[in-house]
Structure 1
Amino acid sequence: MDALTRLHRSLAGGDDDEEQPEDSILGDTEGICSLSPVQRVYGFAACLVAGLALMILSLVVFIRPIKFAVMFTFGNILAVGSTAFLIGPSQQLRMMLDPVRVYATAIYGGFVFLALIFALWIHSKVLTLIAIICEICALFWYSLSYIPFARRMVSDLMSICCSGVKAARTQITQICDYC
């Protein structure tokens, strides 16, 4: 019987005669090691909501970049880690270290580390904000790796925009030279 059913029965006032004694070391190891699908969704939702709440609350203390960085970074870690409830921590780690996204994972992890170092140890507001901006960009790029062809589409879009800016600058320069 899973832990969620036992909890429901105990809250409803029912007796559970199948329960092992509390002093047994192995009494509830199955409930610790494996989660039911409902418990996984609850864990995912709780971590995601807590992470998003920390990220949103961090905007309240945006004036203090160090507090902002700590709250935002821990919120980011919770939000990214929430998917481990759905697919399991080992599968999450395998997917993060997949050749397609290993560089994005390393860059994201590096900027998370740098943001915390700049905020907690060096106490540099400018470096902390730069690290947070880079962390957001790295998380965006990392997230795109889960959508087929999304990175290529964004890269192509950025190159079109940048080449469009170059072409527009060239045309403006030619017009200005003509005048």
Structure 2
Amino acid sequence: MEKMNRAFEKAKKMVGMEVEDEQQTAALEESNPFAFMDEFNQNCTLSTKQSMLVFFNPIKFGIAFTLGNLLSLGSTAFLIGPKRQLTMMLDPVRIYATAIYLASMIIALFCALYVRNKLLTLLAIILEFGALIWYSLSYIPFARTMVSKIMGACFDTDF
């Protein structure tokens, strides 16, 4: 057990998290009733370097983000079955959203792995994120219509 704790401490140090000793944590827990939430919030925050990964290394982020999206599609296929997932994706209501979403994932992987251009990869990530939102909204009745009307009202230039 002690070896595992030391390994976790080393991993925390490697990703830039501060490691506290046991006496300091015990004193904090006794003095603060919300110590668990404070510790949880400290462990869930990103450093500046970690949060700027998209801009410093968009190629690595683009690959991870796209593979995460592919895994999420695979997990929903696992939950509801691949045949039902495919029929839902190819439903006439969301066929275009599905095509744009899948194409954006292919474009992002192409820009990240083959072209290896940071600016193109960043643009492909933005396109993929927008396509993900539009695809997700296709599963909520009238959500795309509502978002379209709200965006049209926000960006309407007629006075």
Q: Give the TM-score normalised by structure 2.
A: 0.65
The number of residue pairs the alignment matches comes to 109
Structure 1 gaps, min length 5:
1-57, 171-179
Query: Where do 4+ consecutive residues of structure 1 move more than 2 Å?
Result: 58-62
**Distance apart, 1:77 and its partner CA:** 1.1
- Which of 76, 79, 89 aligns to 1:96? It is 89
Q: Which amino acid aligns with 2:146?
A: M
Summarize deviations over 1:51-75 as a string: whole Å, max 9, x none. xxxxxxx857322111111011101
Q: Equivalents in 2 of 1:80, 1:149: separation in Å? A: 22
Summarize deviations over 1:79-98 as a string: whole Å, max 9, x none. 23211122101110110011
Match of 1:150 in 2: 143
Q: Which has the higher contact order (CA 8 A, sep 6+)?
A: 2
1:127 is the counterpart of 2:116:
no
Residues 59 and 83 (structure 1), Cα distance of their counterparts in 2 relative to 1, 3 Å cut:
farther
8 Å contact 1:59–1:68 — kept in the other structure? no
Structure 2 gaps, min length 5:
1-49
> Matched residue of 1:82: which SS?
helix
Q: Which amino acid aligns with 2:107?
A: L
Q: Equivalents in 1 of 2:77, 2:52: separation in Å? A: 28
- Which of 61, 66, 81 aligns to 1:73? It is 66
8 Å contact 1:96–1:102 — kept in the other structure? yes
8 Å contact 1:119–1:128 — kept in the other structure? yes
Q: Which amino acid aligns with 1:81?
A: G
Q: Equivalents in 1 of 2:116, 2:91: separation in Å? A: 34
- Cα RMSD of the aligned pairs, angstroms, is 1.5
Correspondence list, 1:1-179, <5 A: 61-62=53-54, 63-163=56-156, 166-167=157-158, 170=159
Q: Give the TM-score normalised by structure 1.
A: 0.58
Q: Equivalents in 1 of 2:137, 2:57: separation in Å? A: 30
Decide which structure has the larger Cα Rg and report it. 1
Residues 59 and 82 (structure 1), Cα distance of their counterparts in 2 relative to 1, 3 Å cut:
farther
